[in-house]
Structure 1
Amino acid sequence: MTQQQAFPARWTPQLQAVLRIVTGYLFLLHGASKLLHFPYVQSFEGLQLFSLIGLAGALELVGGALLILGLFTRPVAFVLAGEMAFAYFMGHASKGAVLMPLMNSGESAVLFCFIFLFLSVAGAGAWSLDGKRARAA
């Protein structure tokens, strides 16, 4: 293996974990702002838990926490990818310009969706409870 091939092979699991942790944290913040009102977003004031946005907040809060921990990463990421695809087509594409996320404010939903799809296939990477459980088994 050449030096050029060794660097990516050595650091891929750690960088994959960084992607998982940062994405999980950002997603957790979306859920926390909806359900816990921290950070405070005025448009989420009076949000009903048993509504589509309330359900999304619960998925974001719990799913984000599980991703940060690297616990059940593959199934959680798959469910969250579906949530983001649903959010894009229900909340953003319905504004028009389906193939232009920049025009309908859907860039973050698309990015989250594809990052979650990647994690559902690639797994948690390093520093995860999934990895710890696999080593223990």
Structure 2
Amino acid sequence: MREFIATRASRLLDALYASRWLGPLVLRVVFGYFWLETGLAKVQHVDGFAERFAGWGIPFPWFSATLSAWTDLVGGALLILGLLTRVVCVPMIINMAVALILVVSRDLTGLDEYVESSELTYILIFFWLLMAGPGKASLDTLLARRLGIRTRD
């Protein structure tokens, strides 16, 4: 019985290992779509978005809102494609860090609320993508292979 369970568990783990490329792909596509959609809405209504920035006391509200909106839009599209994934994670992290520090933190009273904030979760996902990369099923990996750059995916 023990050998039977060990054999089945090994087969299951082998199957999961063989399909490990699926996790980063699904995360990138769904998370990227979220940012693409968010960015598109902000770009289409940048004046209203800038008014919110002004209300929050963010410097240069129209410029800051436009930059934030386009960062979300372009960043989301690039994440979906898995193109320049690690590069795009840096401005996305900065965007979320600014939101967390200048806007969200005004309403947070303790460590628990910071840890439970959506913005921190987004920062952590971007950080994971920055460190782990886009995965095997991405344009980054395809381009790296075409250019003769060895990847670990």
Place the TM-score, normalised by the shorter chain, in its bin.
Answer: 0.7 to 0.9
Please state how far the C-alpha of 1:4 moved relative to its aligned partner: 4.0
Residue type at the aligned position of 1:96: L
- Give me the TM-score of the superposition, normalised by structure 1: 0.81
RMSD over equivalenced CA pairs, Å: 2.3
Residue type at the aligned position of 1:69: L
Identity %: 33
Asked if 1:23 corresponds to 2:23, the answer is: no
- Give me the TM-score of the superposition, normalised by structure 2: 0.73
Question: CA separation in 2, counterparts of 1:11 and 1:46?
Answer: 44
Task: Answer with 1 or 2: which has the greater Rg.
Answer: 2
Select the structure with the greater relative contact order (CA < 8 A; seq sep ≥ 6): 1
- Tell me the alpha carbon deviations over residues 36-55 of structure 1, each in whole angstroms, 9 at most, x when there is no partner: 24xxxxxx654458432221
Residue type at the aligned position of 2:103: G
Indicate conservation of the 8 Å contact 2:83/2:140, yes or no: yes
Greater share of residues in helix: 2
Give the gaps of 5 or more residues in structure 2: 1-8, 51-60, 148-153
Q: Give the number of aligned pairs.
A: 128
Please state how far the C-alpha of 1:101 moved relative to its aligned partner: 4.2
> Which range moved further: 87-96 or 112-121?
87-96
The alignment partner of 1:127 has SS state of: coil
Indicate conservation of the 8 Å contact 2:47/2:62, yes or no: no
